[in-house]
Amino acid sequence: MKKIYKSVLFAIIAAAGFTACSDYEAPDITTESAITITGHETSFPASASTGSITFEAKGLVTVTANNEWITASVDGNRIDIAVDQNNDFSGRSGSISVKCGNATDNISIIQSGIIFKYDDVSTIDIDSDAWSQSYKAEATLPVSVTSDSEWLKASLTDGILTIAADRNTKLQARTGIVTISVGNLTNDITVNQGPLIFPLVKVTEISQNDDAKTYTYDFPSDITVQFNTESSWIHATFANETVTITVDENNSGHMRSGSLSYSLEGAAGSLTVSQYDFDKDIAGEYQWIFTDPSDGKNYYFPATMKRNGNTYTLDFTVGAYNLSAPLKWNDATKTLNLAGGAYLGKWSSYFAYMCYTFYDPEEDAIFYTWDTKPSMNASFTYFESQDMGITAAAFVDAKTFDYALSAMQIHAFKAQPASSASSAGYIKKMEEPILMRMQTLSEEGGNTEETTAATPLKKTAAARIVSAKPALETTLNSDTMLAR
């Protein structure tokens, strides 16, 4: 009896093992899976993709997708899986259910989110010139690039985004937007392009020698430009997208300046045109006029501006003695610089130096110094007053010292170098010094040009040059000022 029971039980177990996927539902008394996975593709990129799972089963297999973005079907011993495109940065997971009889396996399906790598740029500011720039832009999905403006182009090739802007030929700024789209994701890049700027806006002065010369400036526009000048030797036109300024040769015998004004839609301005040649128009004889603070009268030293190579000097006569002041010359601004502490030469048995005086408010006293830091500048200009043509350069504080300078002082020292111990006294104090020479217009050819910068000088220059007397210094003056 015992043997029969064991045989029946064995038969039942054996039958269950061979009929697990039949319509007969046997008791679940085995732990062996009805389905064996032999190969699978269950991880997918963000793009729409397909994959498969292979299996071995002991009966009929069905499959169900548990998410809308997953499609699954059985083909023989293979489950075909398709996933829709994931249009988000975030990854997602789903599952399929594989069933064989009473046995069901849930298999996870994982899909990556969009991977979009690009240079972090949101706003681009450019000027009116044509422009192009490339940026990195790579994605795991197809990328589309669009522009909302005809003047703004954008393209994507092999992971390189190229943005290009046409030249702005208008006087108004403009803005365009480049949109990069990947799936449901978009990124906007704003491009701000500045207006076309009239080239003469950046030009405040044209300074040149006495030769005739032509200047051209690119202006790619069809806007009407009007020019105006009272100087017959200055000419300006605009044609074929080019502004042309022509300056005639200067045969006037002196430096000259004129104003050129312009106007166009949205812009207006002016610039100064000046011509001079140092050897022809600056060098030569002057009166170095100044006010003597001791009596308030105008005096002058006969003086001559000279150039020898790159060395500039102002030679002048004080009494019976010839002195020479070393200068620095700025050709662009037509300005000379005369530094303190400059050795001027022998005056009688003494050594003459250029000193400057200044007021120290803390000491409540006026000092003179032969320090080399203080200096004065003098910018040359030409103007006309009545029937006279005047070339002049007024000395002003160059602000290279800690205190404001009040006057020049030609000072005598008993020995070199200059020192308090060797101070012998001053030869002359010079307030409001100015270099000036004057000729009648008939001598110069009757030119009538005048510069704005010269206007303040006109009020006093002619009077000073007429009233100035030669400074014939033969003795030293004791100086009660403190030296520093």
Q: Which fold has domain 34-113?
A: Immunoglobulin-like (2.60.40)
Question: Side chain identity at 424, as an amino acid letter?
Answer: A
User: What are 37-67's pLDDT values in tens digits?
Assistant: 887 888 888 888 899 999 888 889 999 999 9
Residue with tokens 């679940």: 28
Which residues in the chain show pLDDT less than 70? 1-33, 442-476, 478-484
User: What are 354-410's pLDDT values in tens digits?
Assistant: 999 999 999 899 999 999 999 999 999 998 887 888 999 999 999 999 999 999 999
Check: CB of residue 257 under 8 Å from CB of residue 272: yes
Q: Do domains 34-113 and 123-193 have the same CATH topology?
A: yes
What count of other Cβ atoms lies within 10 Å of the Cβ of residue 248?
15
Q: What is the pLDDT of residue 217?
A: 96
Question: Side chain identity at 62, as an amino acid letter?
Answer: T
Q: Which residues of 98-116 are buried (b: 16+ CB within 10 A; e: fewer)?
A: bbbbebebebebebbbbeb
Check: CB of residue 146 under 8 Å from CB of residue 189: no
Check: CB of residue 161 under 8 Å from CB of residue 134: yes
CA distances from 187 to 86, 102, 126, 142 (A): 17, 50, 20, 14
Residue with tokens 């704003």: 190
d(CA 323, CA 203) in angstroms, rounded, equals: 41
CATH code matching the domain that covers 123-193, chosen among 3.30.1360.30, 3.40.190.80, 2.60.40.10, 1.10.290.10:
2.60.40.10
- CA dihedral defined by 24, 28, 30, 33, rounded to 10 degrees? 80
Q: What is the pLDDT of residue 59?
A: 87
Residues contacting 6, CB < 8 A, separation 6+ = none
Residue with tokens 């006109």: 458
d(CA 224, CA 243) in angstroms, rounded, equals: 11
Domain residue ranges in the chain: 34-113, 123-193, 199-259, 279-483
User: What are 71-108's pLDDT values in tens digits?
Assistant: 999 999 899 999 988 877 778 899 999 998 888 888 99
Check: CB of residue 441 under 8 Å from CB of residue 384: yes
User: Which conformational region is residue 296 in: left (phi greater than 0), alpha (psi within -120 to 50 degrees), or beta?
Assistant: left
d(CA 132, CA 165) in angstroms, rounded, equals: 6
Q: What is the pLDDT of residue 144?
A: 87
Q: What is the pLDDT of residue 451?
A: 40
The percentage of residues in the chain with a pLDDT greater than 90, rounded to a whole number, is: 61
